[in-house]
Chains A and B, each alone.
Chain A
Amino acid sequence: MSEAGASVSEGPTGPPVGDDEDLYRCISPAWWVADERRVSSAAFSYPVFSVDVASLAGSPQATLSRFRPGSGIASFLCRAARQEGCEVHLEVDAEYPENQAHAHVYMPKPNSKRKTTARKLANVCRVLIPPKPAE
């Protein structure tokens, strides 16, 4: 689940994920704006970030089980990411190679619209399991 481990320069190497697949992204409590029930764009604002393909993960709970207590799960359609210029590829997570559902979302290049794209993904995602900020 290391995003630092995903090399932007190497680019995608795995097979593309289908447009109709839902993608799960773990949402840290630090990215959850509870008052407004929205996810911060910071959850998506990276050149490459990790997701689970929902049909392979099985359930949001299955994905969530690998993360810290209090984390949540947001979902968005692969097609929505692709419409924003992202590429989504099924690729091994070096830290959790047993996770067959893992994929990388590659933000469009050049990187001049990274924040705009992240904001759009934050807008379209659905929060399936809200994070629970520490008391």
Chain B
Amino acid sequence: MRSPTIHHKRRLTEGMETDDNWVKEGRYDSEFVAAVQKEIEALRNLPPNWDGYGAPVIDPRFIDAAKRFIASLPDNLAFRPLVVPTSNGSLQLEWHEGPRSLELEFESPRTFRFLQWHPEEGIEEEDTIAVEDTERAVDLINWFTRGACR
């Protein structure tokens, strides 16, 4: 599930050399929202006991909340996260590279539990935040992408 990425500044206009002609460093992915929402939507197809340990189907409220959350993110923020179902009928979004990772697990349609993980830097933080707190979520994703080099 690799997404197209651009790791360097991208020129917008040939022949113009001012800084204004460059976009902020980021990960240009015009399909980000549609692609991630498709991955989330696919979780509706998981049957009961999909994990072999008696998991229920993924709660549609979590699916809808995750899709809304993805749509709320600014453009070009990060490469596509992995979408992973959890045995309690929820899902989590994972960004992972080397020792650094970020997980956002929906605890309810209104909150997620995040894990910031980079043991080499002594970072093992987890907490609960509101799904609507996009600013905090963006901070977390920016923390991840600052160290990621895809």
B63 to chain A, nearest CB (A): 14
Interface size for chain A: under 10, 10 to 19, 20 to 34, or 35 or more residues?
20 to 34
Known: A3-B54, A40-B94, A115-B115. A30 touches B84 (CB 8 A): yes
Q: Are A2 and B84 in contact (CB-based, < 8 A)?
A: no
Interface size for chain B: under 10, 10 to 19, 20 to 34, or 35 or more residues?
20 to 34
B2 at interface, CB cutoff 8 A: yes
Chain B residues closer than 8 Å to A106, beta-carbon distance? none
Segment with Cβ contacts to A, from B14-22, B44-52, B67-75? B44-52
Chain A residues closer than 8 Å to B51, beta-carbon distance? 26, 28, 30-31
A55 to chain B, nearest CB (A): 21
A112–B103 alpha-carbon span in the complex (Å): 15
Partner of A41 from B50, B55, B103 at Cβ < 8 Å:
B103
Partner of A33 from B46, B49, B82, B105 at Cβ < 8 Å:
B82
Q: Are B84 and A31 in contact (CB-based, < 8 A)?
A: yes
Segment with Cβ contacts to A, from B27-35, B85-93, B130-138, B140-148? B85-93
Segment with Cβ contacts to B, from A12-20, A43-51, A74-82? A43-51
Interface residues of A in 95-134 (CB under 8 A from B): 95, 112-116, 119
Chain B residues closer than 8 Å to A95, beta-carbon distance? 54
A71–B52 alpha-carbon span in the complex (Å): 8
A4–B88 alpha-carbon span in the complex (Å): 8
A74–B82 alpha-carbon span in the complex (Å): 20
* Most chain B C-beta atoms within 10 Å of own C-beta, residue among A4, A26, A50: A4
Q: Are A45 and B105 in contact (CB-based, < 8 A)?
A: yes
Binary B-proximity of A44-69 (CB < 8 A = 1, otherwise 0): 01100110000000000000001110
Known: A42-B85, A115-B115, A115-B126. A30 touches B46 (CB 8 A): yes
A41–B113 alpha-carbon span in the complex (Å): 13
A22 to chain B, nearest CB (A): 19
Chain A residue, CB-CB nearest to B82: A33
B25 at interface, CB cutoff 8 A: no
Partner of A115 from B52, B53, B105 at Cβ < 8 Å:
B105
Q: Are A35 and B86 in contact (CB-based, < 8 A)?
A: no
Q: Are A35 and B105 in contact (CB-based, < 8 A)?
A: no
B12 at interface, CB cutoff 8 A: no
7 residue pairs, one from A and one from B, having the closest CB atoms: A2-B54, A67-B52, A115-B115, A28-B51, A42-B84, A115-B126, A40-B84
Q: Which residues of B contact A (CB under 8 A)?
A: 1-2, 46, 49-56, 82, 84-88, 92, 94, 96, 101, 103, 105, 113-115, 117, 124, 126
